Structure 1
Amino acid sequence: MYKGEIIAVGTELLLGQIANTNAQYISRKMAEIGIPIYFHVTVGDNEQRLKEAIIQAQKRSNIIIFTGGLGPTQDDITKEVAADLMNKRMLLHQSTYEKIKDYFIQRRIKMTENNIKQAMIIEGSTVFPNNYGLAAGLGLEIGEITYIFLPGPPSEMKPMLEHFVAPWLVKRNQGQTFHSKIMRFAGIGESLLEDKVVDIIENQSNPTVALYANEGEVTIRLTARAEDESAALSIIYPIEKEIHNRLQDYHFGYGEEKIEQVVFRFLNELNLTISVSESCTGGLIGRQITKIPGSSLVYKGGVICYTNEIKSKILQVPEEILEEYGAVSMETAKILAENTLKLFNTDIGISITGIAGPDKVEGKPVGLTYIGISEKGKETVVKEIHLSGNRQSIQWRAAKYVFYFLWDRLRERLNDKE
């Protein structure tokens, strides 16, 4: 079994000038093909420190993936340092060299000598084409360790990893393939979700089961090892079915589809429109909906009613309600939802009011949030939730809860329709 490690090379990463998004992407892609990443290491453009990082990685990992340091400048030293430790020569890769020359000829720019570095490879390497840049990627095995060298720019690294490196690794893994299926959940925290499937996680072998949490959503990745994709899916199915049966009230979808996209699809299928009045989320819900192409089919508009003045003047919340119960209350959320429905003449009116922090408001705790859902011909429902985290985290999670409650209501409608 692989034990993977990523070594990101670049002083700019250590200085915080750029974020190390490459490591996140590589880890996710490796998980998809059944290669777990155990360590992330970031090291500057320093020969001695890079050597130390490689030596340490060789002691604990059997697949080492480098990103960065393959360029033409003096501080691009990744291949050279690794080759020295491997006692391997650096050789000119002719087709990469010709590609680099053609690039400069087409641009009518003189090619400087240092660009030849990008065509130099470690002897014995498999060369991965770079269709979006000049520096070639490399893959080679020495003893029990597999080494992968990827360029630093994400626009070059990602397609190389996707189209060349991942298939190369799968092919070398004794003819077996890895296939993953992602299940997505909302309305439930990571710890509670884990508690409901802990026995499955503890007894995993093939497929493997991994949980990942984002703001307001949790994903479960099921990865099976088999001779082909069809066989892998057959292995995954019984575990997937069992997880769904236990968590069907929270399981909203698969793959990369987010819950707001599922809600949009449901609204479209049901031919329904919505409108939103947002207080604590400040327009975040409307923003998430309108990021979806064609959202005007279901979303008529919204009001950011951040102050009591707007709640009262625009959405007609009586001042006595605001004075007696407060802006963050079940009573206010109910009226906001109902009047949003009327104001925009939609099928569903949504309201959200809460305390994002960092301080208490009206003597009420940070994280207290009320979500109102008003539907034509139905009684208005108000949900009370309690969130934790910083201000931004609470806002994101509150917005996700709006979509979760909407999803829950809409799937009932779809089930009734069927």
Structure 2
Amino acid sequence: MIKKKINIEMLSTGDEVLHGQIIDTNAAWLSQFLFQEGILITSKHTVGDDLTQLISTLQQHSLDNDIIIVNGGLGPTSDDLSAQAAALANHEPLILHQEWLSKIEQFFLRHGKTMSPSNIKQAMLPQSATLIDNPIGTACGFKIQINHCLLYFTPGVPSEFKEMIKTWILPEIKLNFPTLEKKLCYRLMTMGQTESNLATQIDDNLNLPTDIVIGYRATMPMIELKLTGSEEQKTKMDALWQKIKAIVANNFLYEGVLTQHGDLGLAMFVSKILIEKGQTIAVIEHQSAGRIAHQLFECEAPMVKSEIVPLFPEAFKDYCLHVLTRNRADIVLGLVNFREKNTEFTLIIATSQQFFQFNLKYTGQVQNREITQKILCAIALDALRRYLLNMPILGKNVWLDLIE
């Protein structure tokens, strides 16, 4: 029987992942990467460094899935148990794969280092394993089959993991399941409206088919909207997407995924506009403690100055003019004069010809300092975006009041 839908599980291993000592970025990356290829991860699971539990999980989960991508546990230390668990789960021995041992030896030779005897463990793999090359490190990936399920074992190091997925595992999935139903996902970011209000506006104005789904993801202070459906529904999804964009137009920030790091999406969009317009920028901050400048710098914005300085209101205009002249900047973006007791602050956009000053009050829920900084940064970057696009500098925002 030809399958149009398959079950794919991401199985992360390791106590440090299970107990939250490190963030499982590999799982998030894999879900997004495969989704962009039209392939859905159907479940995720995490197991610690417990051999018995690993064996049981591999045996049980292989009954429910077509593919399991196992991440981690391929190193040379005693707590790296994935290869041993795979062999025991499939009732077969571990054997020395001389081919991979030779590659490990060559790896150390190229780097002018002596191979530790413990590294031999990385070449001890299940007898039925098909090796997956690792051109970056010494952990050998491999594939085995348990209960008609394909299991791919990958290293936990992100660069090695991603290389295996892109160059070996993804092509295999497409080869083995060529009739997979491809998925489409349209995405946009909004700010200044609550999730419930956005949902109400969309539900009141759209009649979505059951096989096309709209989702919401809050990432303070922004809300992402996603429209998901099969590739066969593209024409219908295109029409719905235009209607959704019209509904949220007052709070629209940007469309699509600009970066895997959500915090930088708006900064990335603003940086692209600055570059396209050939405009340099200087950033003056206080409460945001350099966060705006850092985001723009990470996105390679044409930034000529960044400073953290407390300013008194009577000095705003003269100081901005000084910064513009001395640094030959085209624009100054300022976020200063924050008063924590009443969450009031001043937003400034200045050029040699124009000076805009907005005294604002954030009326949303009081947050910790990090979240407060994140909110202020987003407000400032959105104001800059709107200025660069010749829009009113302040958009509609239910949590922002303009103080006369």
TM bucket by the smaller chain?
Answer: 0.7 to 0.9
Q: Paired residue for 1:371?
A: 347
Alpha-carbon spacing, 1:379–1:70, altered in 2? closer, same or farther (3 Å): closer
How many residues align? The count is 373
Q: How far has the Cα of 1:7 moved from its partner?
A: 2.8
Does the aligned pair in 1 maintain the 2:55–2:85 contact within 8 Å?
yes
| 3-state secondary structure, aligned to 2:390 | helix
Letter in 2 for 1:172: N
Letter in 2 for 1:281: S
- Which residue of the other structure, out of 277, 280, 291, is the alignment partner of 1:284? 291
Q: Paired residue for 1:397?
A: 375
| 1:61-93, Cα deviation, whole Å (9 max, x unpaired) | 554322111123333211221332233444554
Q: 1:18-417 alignment to 2 at 5 Å? A: 18-32=22-36, 33-44=38-49, 46-54=50-58, 57-58=61-62, 61-107=65-111, 111=115, 114-143=118-147, 145-176=149-180, 178=182, 183-188=187-192, 191=195, 192-197=197-202, 203=209, 205=211, 209-221=214-226, 225-226=230-231, 237-249=238-250, 250-257=252-259, 258-293=265-300, 295-296=302-303, 300-306=304-310, 311-312=311-312, 317-318=313-314, 336=316, 338-345=317-324, 347-353=330-336, 361=341, 364=342, 367-374=343-350, 376-377=353-354, 380-388=357-365, 389-412=367-390
Alpha-carbon spacing, 1:97–1:237, altered in 2? closer, same or farther (3 Å): farther
Q: How far has the Cα of 1:403 moved from its partner?
A: 0.9
Alpha-carbon spacing, 1:340–1:107, altered in 2? closer, same or farther (3 Å): closer
Q: How far has the Cα of 1:98 moved from its partner?
A: 3.0
Q: How far has the Cα of 1:235 moved from its partner?
A: 7.1
Q: How far has the Cα of 1:148 moved from its partner?
A: 2.2
Alpha-carbon spacing, 1:110–1:285, altered in 2? closer, same or farther (3 Å): closer
| 1:260-301, Cα deviation, whole Å (9 max, x unpaired) | 2222232333344444432321221122223333523xxx43
Q: How far has the Cα of 1:408 moved from its partner?
A: 2.0
Alpha-carbon spacing, 1:251–1:34, altered in 2? closer, same or farther (3 Å): farther
Structure 1: any 5+ residue segments left out of the alignment? 319-334
Does the aligned pair in 2 maintain the 1:216–1:396 contact within 8 Å?
yes
Aligned partners of 1:109 and 1:268: how far apart in 2? Answer: 45
Scaled by the length of structure 2, what TM-score is found? 0.76
Aligned partners of 1:379 and 1:60: how far apart in 2? Answer: 60
Does the aligned pair in 1 maintain the 2:70–2:152 contact within 8 Å?
yes
Alpha-carbon spacing, 1:270–1:85, altered in 2? closer, same or farther (3 Å): closer
Does the aligned pair in 2 maintain the 1:368–1:385 contact within 8 Å?
yes
Scaled by the length of structure 1, what TM-score is found? 0.73
- Which residue of the other structure, out of 13, 20, 41, is the alignment partner of 1:9? 13
Of residues 115-124 and 283-292 in structure 1, the stretch that sits farther from structure 2 once superposed is 115-124
- Name the Cα RMSD after superposition: 3.7
| 1:284-324, Cα deviation, whole Å (9 max, x unpaired) | 1122223333523xxx4354234xxxx23xxxx24xxxxxx
| 3-state secondary structure, aligned to 1:41 | strand
Letter in 1 for 2:165: L
Aligned partners of 2:100 and 2:236: how far apart in 1? Answer: 42
| 1:336-388, Cα deviation, whole Å (9 max, x unpaired) | 4x4454232355443324768xxx52xx2xx5555344563476455543344
Q: How far has the Cα of 1:202 moved from its partner?
A: 6.4
Q: How far has the Cα of 1:211 moved from its partner?
A: 4.0
Larger proportion of helix: 1
Does the aligned pair in 2 maintain the 1:244–1:251 contact within 8 Å?
no
Structure 2: any 5+ residue segments left out of the alignment? 260-264, 393-404
Aligned partners of 1:378 and 1:5: how far apart in 2? Answer: 55
Letter in 1 for 2:321: K
Alpha-carbon spacing, 1:189–1:142, altered in 2? closer, same or farther (3 Å): farther
Aligned partners of 2:269 and 2:347: how far apart in 1? Answer: 19
Letter in 2 for 1:99: K
Alpha-carbon spacing, 1:60–1:383, altered in 2? closer, same or farther (3 Å): farther
Q: How far has the Cα of 1:399 moved from its partner?
A: 0.1
| 3-state secondary structure, aligned to 2:289 | coil
